[in-house]
Amino acid sequence: MGKGTNDFQMMKIIQYIPEAFEEIHFEREKPVKKSLPNKENCIHPEMTVLDIISSHRETEAVFKQYDEQAGECICCQALFEPLRNVAVKYGLDLKNLITDLEATADL
């Protein structure tokens, strides 16, 4: 490619810079939405099994109760998986699992 081709490509890119700055400014001005529930210590679907057990050691017993339905040790095989993925992988009812974990964690 010659110098003329590079100049032409640069001019094409430059024309989009003001629009890009405007879009960035607009995104910065948007209020930030929290993706996690407001309840400080609640258990949510994006937490990993490890996150939950680390914060609430007593919840390990709940995972052990679900092992039979899962067909394997959840803590052994899915420790780093988000709860949402664990429910899908093992065919568990996510809402019931969270309810059981929160009840055991006294949340």
Is the entire prediction scored with pTM above 0.85? no
Residue 70 CA to residue 89 CA, distance in Å, equals 8
Q: What's the pLDDT band for 38 if we cut at 50, 70, 90?
A: very low
Q: What is the pLDDT of residue 15?
A: 78
- Name the token pair of 70: 């899962």
Q: What is the pLDDT of residue 106?
A: 82
Domain residue ranges in the chain: 1-33, 49-105
- pLDDT above 70 as % of the chain: 79
Residue 60 CA to residue 75 CA, distance in Å, equals 8
DSSP string, the chain: --HHHHHHHHHHHHTTHHHHHHHHHHHHHSPPPPSS-SSTT---TTSBHHHHHHH-GGGHHHHHHHHHHHTS-HHHHSTTSBHHHHHHHHT--HHHHHHHHHHHHT-
Q: Quick check: 2 pLDDT over 60? A: no
**Residues whose CB is less than 8 angstroms from the CB of residue 94 and which lie 6 or more positions away in sequence, other chains included:** 45, 83, 84, 87
Residue 97 CA to residue 107 CA, distance in Å, equals 14
Q: What's the pLDDT band for 58 if we cut at 50, 70, 90?
A: very high
Task: Read off the pLDDT of residues 76-99 as tens digits, 9 standing for 90 and up.
Answer: 999 999 999 999 999 999 999 999
Quote the mean pLDDT of the chain: 83
Higher local confidence (pLDDT), 41 or 72? 72
